[in-house]
Amino acid sequence: MLPNAEWTKTERESSLLDILEDATPDEYLVDLEKYKDCVIGICEGKVFVREATKKGYNIAYHGDTVNLAQPKSKTRRGRVGKGVANTLLTSREQAVLTSDDKLRWLTERESWRLQGIPDSYFEKAAAVTSKNQLYKQAGNGVTVDVVYEIAKRF
């Protein structure tokens, strides 16, 4: 921590649910068979996610994210983001539970929204860029709102 810097948590103005798209194509649904070592099951609005904790699992609800990177890992913890998306990387690794109990990947647009980038900018990029590159750009991006909050302190 830098000297003389007061770091305080700021109140969230929105949640993950605020940036999620209402309808997404089936291509974004997670293949649960591929992730059976990580996702224990989905039942009544809950996703049971294997984690390397004493309990052995965590529960994600509608509006939480599930990090599906390294699905066969026996040492992963912190896979569930409670109402938030954990660190965005350069590929599809974050999934959300839909209101109809399906697990789906965050879309490219949602990844850009998480970075604070307006939809109009996303649409311009999507017109000339592949889906994989859109994820990569979001994952390599710096969240302007976070940088702004840090800069205000100096």
Asked if the structure places residue 88 within a domain, the reply is: yes
Asked if the structure places residue 5 within a domain, the reply is: no
We report the CATH number of the domain holding residue 121 as: 3.90.120
pTM to 2 decimal places: 0.84
**Which residues span the domain enclosing 111?**
16-152
CB 52 within 8 A of CB 75: yes
> What is the distance between the alpha carbons of residues 42 and 66, in angstroms, rounded to a whole number?
12
pLDDT tens for the chain, residues 1 to 154: 444 445 455 566 778 888 899 889 999 999 999 999 999 999 999 999 999 999 999 999 999 999 999 888 888 888 999 988 888 888 889 999 998 999 999 999 999 998 888 999 999 999 999 999 999 999 998 887 788 888 988 8
Asked if the structure places residue 4 within a domain, the reply is: no
Structure tokens at 35: 């992730």
Instruction: Domain count for the chain, please give it.
Output: 1
